[in-house]
Amino acid sequence: MNAQETVDRFLNLFPEYKSAYNVHMNDYGELLQHVFYSEVINDPLSALLKNNKETDQIKKYVGFVEDMSFQGDESVQNVVDVTILECLSDDVDVWNNLGKYISDEFRNYINNELLKQNCAMWHVKMI
């Protein structure tokens, strides 16, 4: 999936963010993936994981993030690694709770590739 296919899929799964997307496009004139997904994935997912109660909603976000990582092109994967996972790893409780919702394949990727390759995450414990 390229950036446009990813945002189209996101808005299909999360139609409540269509107005946020329109505002983003009006403000920037183009999709700035890191900015947009920080607002519409990081912020709400972090809050959900902190609370750890709305499991269906958490699973919906996490499933989408995994799809971004495994099906996205390099720019989409970069958003997952640099914007989403780095941010979620800043809070130990959020990070540990994330580990409860990810697939074994995604856990393997995070623990055995991302945490070893991304120097900004070398201090982060495996999930």
Is residue 22 in a domain? yes
Tokens for 74, please give them.
């390099």
CA-CA distance, 15 to 20, in Å (whole number)?
Answer: 10
Is residue 61 in a domain? yes
Give the confidence band of 121 by pLDDT, cuts at 50, 70, 90: confident
Is residue 103 in a domain? yes
**CB 99 within 8 Å of CB 66:** no
CA-CA distance, 127 to 71, in Å (whole number)?
Answer: 22
Domain of residue 80 covers: 3-121
For 25-73, the pLDDT digits (tens) are 999 999 999 999 999 999 999 999 999 999 999 999 999 999 999 999 9
Is residue 126 in a domain? no
CA-CA distance, 92 to 28, in Å (whole number)?
Answer: 33
Domains in the chain, number? 1
